[in-house]
Amino acid sequence: MGTGLGGVADRMDHDFVLPYEQLDGWPRCTAPGHAGRFVCGRLAGTPLVAIDGRFHAYEGRSIDELTLPTRLLAALGVEILIVSNAAGGLNPRLSTGDLVVLADHINLLGRGRFLADAVEPRAQKPYDDRLRQQALALARREHIPAVEGTYVAVAGPNYETRAEYRCLRRIGGDVVGMSTVPEVIAAARLGLRTLALSVVTNVARPDVPRHTTCAEVVAAANLAAPRLCRLVECVIGQLGEI
């Protein structure tokens, strides 16, 4: 779960909660809006492990650290991964609070070694078509503003300049953020079916620039979190049909 989006864990029927601090050698979350805990239990009657807080390249984390939670889930027998993030909107048709169901990504993290290893064909289409289509259908049913789109992953931690916003939009991006892609590629290599959801926390207006702060992003994510939580709950409730 991404910045300010830990509400999914709060809606679960908890079996137990394990803070990262209680795991020897496990990295700590330093980014705002990331609690840093495992929450194990059920949501919509389905067994679930929620990872409330992730690691980022801009925190100095290696690829092994960025993908550690995904690899742990796979080792535990998890079959489906639902990834969320808070992202900036590049597509001018988006509004703050919208959800974007990811169909593809553009990786600008500069992690060439890891990508060179990810040459299996299944890693070339890491987002599950059936999960994505079901999420869009459920969003329409629940009157949740959601569209399909492409995520651009950048290293951060700085927000983009006006020229960068224009460039990222021109190359095909709908939203931009600083996470998600390493986890998704790892999940594809491990055979996990993946659904990825972005919450739009601000929309770029390169011709009418406005300064964006981390606090504003966290606040916007918190406001939009109930929509994300509801959609995730609906998807999980129908996993047996997907």
pLDDT given for residue 118 in this prediction: 46
Distance CA 40, CA 47 (A): 8
Residue 17, SS3 per DSSP: strand
pLDDT given for residue 121 in this prediction: 46
User: Which residue segment(s) compose the domain that 138 sits in?
Assistant: 7-241
| Neighbour-count burial of 219, counting CB atoms closer than 10 A to its CB (0-12 exposed, 13-18 middle, 19+ buried) | middle
Half-sphere exposure (Cβ direction) of 12: Cα atoms closer than 13 Å: 23
CATH number for the domain including 109? Answer: 3.40.50.1580
Does residue 2 lie within any of the structural domains?
Answer: no
pTM: 0.88
Instruction: Spell out the per-residue pLDDT of the chain, length 242, in tens.
Output: 876 567 778 888 889 999 988 988 888 887 776 788 899 999 888 999 999 888 888 878 888 888 999 999 999 999 999 999 989 999 999 999 999 999 999 999 875 545 445 444 445 689 999 999 999 999 999 999 999 999 999 988 888 888 999 999 999 999 999 999 999 999 999 999 999 999 998 888 776 666 666 777 677 777 788 899 899 999 999 987 66
Tally of domains within the chain: 1
pLDDT given for residue 116 in this prediction: 44
Residue listed under structure tokens 């992953």: 153
Tell whether the torsion through CA atoms of 80, 151, 172 and 208 is positive or negative: positive
DSSP 8-state class, residue 32: T
Does residue 23 lie within any of the structural domains?
Answer: yes
pLDDT given for residue 210 in this prediction: 65
Cis geometry, peptide bond prior to residue 145 (ω within 30 degrees of 0) = no
Q: Can you spell out the DSSP letters for 120-142?
A: SGGGGS-S-HHHHHHHHHHHHHT
Does residue 1 lie within any of the structural domains?
Answer: no
